[in-house]
Chains A and B, each alone.
Chain A
Amino acid sequence: MTKNLIILFAVLFPIWAKAQDPLAKTNAAILACKAEKWEEAVSMADQAIADPQEASQAYTWYVAGFIWKELYKLEESSFRTSPMREKSIQYLQKAITLDKDKKYKKDIDAALRYLAISYFNDALKRSKEISAISENEPEEIYSKFRDLLHSIAPLTDFSEYDKQMFKSLGQSHYRLWELNTTDRTHAIKSNSYFQKVLILDENDCDALHNLVILHYNQGVYAIRSVDVQSDISELIIKQEEAIRQFHLALPYAQKCFDVCKKTPEYYKALMYCYRALGNDEAYDRLKLEFDNSRGK
């Protein structure tokens, strides 16, 4: 009789215990997480999502996603292709599909927003260090940011993010052009990115000014490439090439000067364009104005 009671207890206790706490593994994961026992937290979270009963709950996936996000922050935040971040997103997105009454939506969205922004930051950082072989990476990472943020906030206006990204890529391609000015590939790409910024905001001062510099400096480079071995015919050809670039730079310099707060850089950009095109009158007028503004 006693033996039978013990067997019955052994069979029923886990069922009873489970009934008392249907999310036992999930809650154990939370406790471990709070205690910053990450190994245990991950182990419990993984057990929870492997448990059919707990895995049917949005909360379980949210907790698992959250714990992986915390681990990503602790261990892989400087790792662009972090598997922890991928796993966290996967779990949080699973939580969304199970969260029919949107009970955890706010918390899940906050976690996903954090991860989305981490992609944006990675894309921006990567854009500043691109080489010819890694030039597509920033946009690939950036599209992850866009997709993720769009999934939780479909009405997000991405214009400001796009502008930041395009400007950064424009500047990076400009730097690549400067490393090898005989190859215009990166100058063309730089121009293309700044043009994209102007499509979003035709008065963006950074884009306007950078386009001035891009074209103007290409002109200067053409002139500088004339050396003692060059003859007059080459000088004339290089000059014509430079003049074309100066003509491209001038409208951006003028617009930047007209619509943006006047800075020494914007003054110089417009002054130099006029000087390079031989418009001494406009150059002298601006120089006088510039010197007066600086109290000279």
Chain B
Amino acid sequence: MAFKLKLFGGILLLLLASTELFAQKIDEADTRAIVQANYIYQFATNCNWPNEVKKGKFYIGVLGNVPLVENLKEKYGSKPAGTQIIEISSLTDIPTTQFFHILFIDKSRKNDLAKAIKELKSKNTLIITNWEGAIAGGAHINFKSLSNAIRYEMNETLMLEKKIQPGIKILQWKID
């Protein structure tokens, strides 16, 4: 009667819920860059440039924002803006020879805004920025934060001086 069956008993180990094996991963995408890229595409497709620059490719240059360049290239590179095909370039300096329909200057390069305005004075280039006070500094469109969301303010008069006509959708969603 004292016979023990433990000989065969064994021990069953508890499995551990491995959080490593099935770990959820945070999406590393820069959402601000995704949103800004989409806005820039909207500006490209919903603004009207003068006829003399409506031929060849539609050039967008970005100064100082790698995630934005990557997002633009990935999602909107080679897409049409009207009859033109969009080409995205990452810039290291203000372009003085090649024409760009849109030039985005990141806040990390805010000191280049004055130079851009001077160098591009006679060109139909839409200058877009992303820092407080850029509109007063001469930018045409500036991204700003409204309740944590990215919206944009614009200087329509300056745009018209450049013969760039903002479309109704662009005007409709601007903030003051």
Contacts and interface: CB of A to CB of B under 8 A. Distances in A.
Interface in B33-82: 34-35, 38-39, 41-42, 46, 75-76, 79
Given A212-B26, A242-B31, A278-B145, A164 B17 contact: yes
Interface residues of B, number: 48
A239 B24 contact: no
Interface of B: 1, 3-17, 19, 22-32, 34-35, 38-39, 41-42, 46, 75-76, 79, 145, 147-151, 169-170, 172-173
Interface in A137-178: 164-165, 167-168, 171-172, 174-175
A111 B31 contact: no
Contact of B10 (A73, A213, A224, A239): A73
B14 A236 contact: no
B76 A174 contact: no
Given A236-B149, A236-B173, A107 B31 contact: no
Interface string A260-281: 0000010011001001111000
Interface stretch (A9-17, A46-54, A215-223): A215-223
Nearest to A62: B5
Nearest to A212: B26
A214 B7 CA distance: 47
Contacts of B29: 220, 223-224
Nearest to A218: B27
How large, as a class, is the contact surface on chain A?
A: 35 or more
B169 A117 contact: no
B60 to A, nearest CB: 14
Contacts of A247: 148
Interface of A: 23, 27, 30, 33-34, 59, 62-63, 66, 70, 73, 107, 110-111, 114, 117-118, 120-121, 124-125, 127-128, 164-165, 167-168, 171-172, 174-175, 206, 210, 212-214, 216-217, 219-221, 223-224, 226-228, 230-233, 235-236, 239-240, 242-243, 246-247, 265, 268-269, 272, 275-278
Contacts, number: 130
Nearest to A221: B27
Given A107-B6, A120-B14, A278-B150, 4 more contacts: A110-B6, A220-B29, A223-B31, A223-B35
B170 A232 contact: yes
A118 B39 contact: no
A243 B148 CA distance: 7
Nearest to B107: A280
A127 B15 CA distance: 12
B79 A232 contact: no
